[in-house]
C-alpha cells in the first residue's frame, strides 16, 4: 500500500507545505494546468461546499480576487483526517 492513500477525501501522504503562511486553492486541491499535485484531492465545488458546511477551514480574503487559507489550518485538516 502506498503512502498516497486517501481517507475521507483528505490525502494521507506527507504534504509539502510551509509551517506558516498562506495557500491558494490551487495549492490545496491541485492544478493540472500548473502541474501542482493536490494536498486534498477534491474538486473545486466539493471544496467550496465543504467550506460552506464547516468541514474545511474558512478562507481569508486578501483582495477582491485573492482568497487564501492559513497553512496551519490546512496542516491541521490533513493531520485530523
Domain positions in the chain are 6-79
pLDDT score at 3: 44
Which pLDDT value is given to residue 10?
56
Cα-based distances in Å from 63 to 27, 59, 68: 18, 12, 10
Q: Residue 10's beta-bridge partner residues?
A: 7
Would you write out the chain's pLDDT as a tens digit for each of its 81 residues?
444 444 455 544 444 788 899 999 999 999 988 889 999 999 999 999 999 999 999 999 999 999 999 999 999 999 998
Q: What string of H, E and C letters represents the secondary structure of the chain? A: CCCCCEECCEECCCCCCCCCCEECHHHHHCECCCCECCCCCCCHHHHHHHHHHCCCCCCEEEECCEEEEEHHHHHHHHHCC
Residue 17 pLDDT: 82
Amino acid at each position: 500500500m502506498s503512502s498516497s492513500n486517501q481517507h475521507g477525501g483528505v490525502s494521507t501522504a506527507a504534504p509539502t507545505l510551509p509551517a506558516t503562511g498562506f495557500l491558494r486553492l490551487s495549492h490545496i486541491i491541485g492544478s493540472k494546468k500548473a502541474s501542482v499535485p493536490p494536498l486534498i484531492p477534491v474538486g473545486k465545488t466539493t471544496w467550496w461546499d465543504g467550506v460552506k458546511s464547516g468541514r474545511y477551514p474558512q478562507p481569508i480574503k486578501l483582495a477582491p480576487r485573492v482568497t487564501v487559507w492559513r497553512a496551519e489550518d490546512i496542516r491541521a485538516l490533513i493531520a485530523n483526517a
